[in-house]
Structure formats: C-alpha cells, structure tokens
Amino acid sequence: MKTSATIARAGLLTLAMGFAGGLFMASSTPASATTCAGPVGYNTYNPAPPGPSITCTIDNLQFSTFGFSSSATGGATLPTASGVTVTPITTPLNEGFTFNPGLSVATQPGPTAQAQDVTIMFEVTGLNGTLINDLSIFFNGSFSGTGTTNFSETYCTGSFTTGCNNFQVQNPPTNLSNHINITPTTTLFITKDVAVNSGTSGSASVSVFDNQFSQVVPIPGALPLFATGLVGLWAVRRRRKADAAVA
C-alpha cells in the first residue's frame, strides 16, 4: 500500500515533469535544412526566373514564397533584388528581417521629380503550433524640401489578397516605427512597399527598413502532466485527512 509520503513524492515528481516538459517544448527549435541566410542580396531569397523562391527558417518561423518588384521614374535608378541586402533578425520570439535597399532620389533640373519604389512579399508560418500575435515595422526615411518617404505593410491571413489589413510609417510627418497586435494566427502573407519621392524641389532616401513577428509558443506537453500532478497532490491531502479522522 502506498503511503502518504510516497503519493506526495509521486505528485511532486509529476508536477516537475510537467514544467520540465513544457520548458523543453517551448525552447526546442524545429529541424530545418535551410536557415535564412544573411547578410545577402535579396536575389538569394527570390532568384531570377526560372529559379524558385527559397524556403527558410528563423527559430520557430518559416519564410517562403518570396517575391520582388520595383519601379523608378524621373530618371531615377531602378532598384534591383540584388541591390537590396537582407539580414535575419534572430531576437528570440521576435524574429524577422532587416532590409537595406539604398533608395535615394533628388529633384532634377526642369524641375523633374524622381521616385523609387520597392515591393517585397513573403509568407511567414509558425512551426509546431507557434502563433504570431504582433507585427512591428521600422524605417529610417529622411527627406528635404518637398521630398516624401513611406513604408506600408499589408498583412493577410488567407492569401496575398484575402483577409488583408494595412499599417504604415512615413516621414513627413515623422513616424518611423509602428506595431500592431493581431488575433493570433499560424500563417501570414506579407507585402511591404517602400517608396521615396523627391517632389519638385527636394530629396528623399531610405537605407533601412525592417519588420519583426512576435509569437506565442505553445507548451502542449505541460498541461496534461500538470493536471496529473494536481490530482496526485489532491489525493495526498484527502489521504491525510482520512488518516487524521481514523486517529
């Protein structure tokens, strides 16, 4: 027959296993053949046709379906994928990317306004039940005179065109960073658009923009063990009350 002390030890052991199992599940990193590289040109992520977009991971997040497009007017240099440097952000539970696009325009004689625009797309998925619950963006847009800079991010839950919302930063007026809480979700489709425009008498530039994805990592192994441990401790308490009544 098990004694009260034996049952107590079993209950405490089960509780410890529950916490340890939960911690292990939260800290484990999924195996992956490809870790997101950087600093590299964006063409590494989105090779020119016929090369397919890569799939890579940063900790619990998987990134795929990378896309790129750009435009330029007024004689400005057309941005290219190879000219945009990508560096992974590896902050635990807040991973993402930093992009260095080197955008810069200025009014030309005439006067002629110059503009550059870069659009980057990708899909981000939480692995092993990881849920994304917060998005943040930042850029260092600067201007003079009539120049303007803007960084807009569209995040969608169904596809790149369905279940979409948008938030942004700009200068002017000066607003270089922003974040938004979202309903926790496993997958997001991201489209980010960064634009600079000199206007008819000014300049504008962006050399850095980034975004990060905050996450909630589940600990599925912890709750059942924790509940079992509580049952064990409840049994101990009941047994002791029964022993006290008999005495």
Residue 24 pLDDT > 60, yes or no? no
Percent of the chain scoring above 70 in pLDDT: 74
For residues 231 and 234, what is the distance between their CA atoms, to the nearest angstrom? 5
* Segment 61-79 mean pLDDT: 97
**pLDDT (0 to 100) of residue 220:** 60
- Which of 2-11, 76-85, 161-170 bottoms out in mean pLDDT, i.e. has the lowest? 2-11
Q: Cα–Cα–Cα angle for 135, 61, 83, nearest 5°?
A: 75
Q: What is the mean pLDDT of the chain?
A: 84
The model's confidence at residue 246, banded by pLDDT at 50, 70 and 90, is low
Residue 26 pLDDT > 50, yes or no? no
For residues 172 and 53, what is the distance between their CA atoms, to the nearest angstrom? 35
Task: Find out whether 104 and 202 touch, Cβ atoms under 8 Å.
Answer: no
The model's confidence at residue 245, banded by pLDDT at 50, 70 and 90, is low
Give the distance from CA 180 to its chain's centroid. Answer: 12
* Segment 81-99 mean pLDDT: 97
Residue 138 pLDDT > 60, yes or no? yes
**pLDDT (0 to 100) of residue 235:** 56
Counting DSSP H helices and E strands in the chain, the numbers are: 2, 15
Q: Retrieve residue 216's tokens.
A: 């909630």
CB-based burial label for 73 (10 Å; 0-12, 13-18, 19+): middle
- Concatenating the DSSP letter of every residue in 200-220 gives TSEEEEE--EEEEEEEE---T
Q: What is the pLDDT of residues 93-129, one digit of tens each?
A: 999 999 999 999 999 999 999 999 999 999 999 999 9
The model's confidence at residue 47, banded by pLDDT at 50, 70 and 90, is confident
For residues 123 and 156, what is the distance between their CA atoms, to the nearest angstrom? 9
For residues 125 and 238, what is the distance between their CA atoms, to the nearest angstrom? 47
The model's confidence at residue 25, banded by pLDDT at 50, 70 and 90, is very low
**pLDDT (0 to 100) of residue 164:** 98
Q: Which residues of 205-237 are buried (b: 16+ CB within 10 A; e: fewer)?
A: bbeebbbbbbbebebebbeebbeebeebbebbe
CB-based burial label for 10 (10 Å; 0-12, 13-18, 19+): middle
Beta-bridge partner residues of 126: 61
Q: What is the pLDDT of residues 196-237, one digit of tens each?
A: 999 999 999 999 999 999 999 876 654 454 445 555 555 556
pTM of the model: 0.77
- Secondary structure of residue 20 in the 3-state scheme: helix
The model's confidence at residue 49, banded by pLDDT at 50, 70 and 90, is confident
DSSP 76: P
Residue 144 pLDDT > 60, yes or no? yes
The enclosing H or E element of 136 equals: strand 131-139
Residue 17 pLDDT > 50, yes or no? no
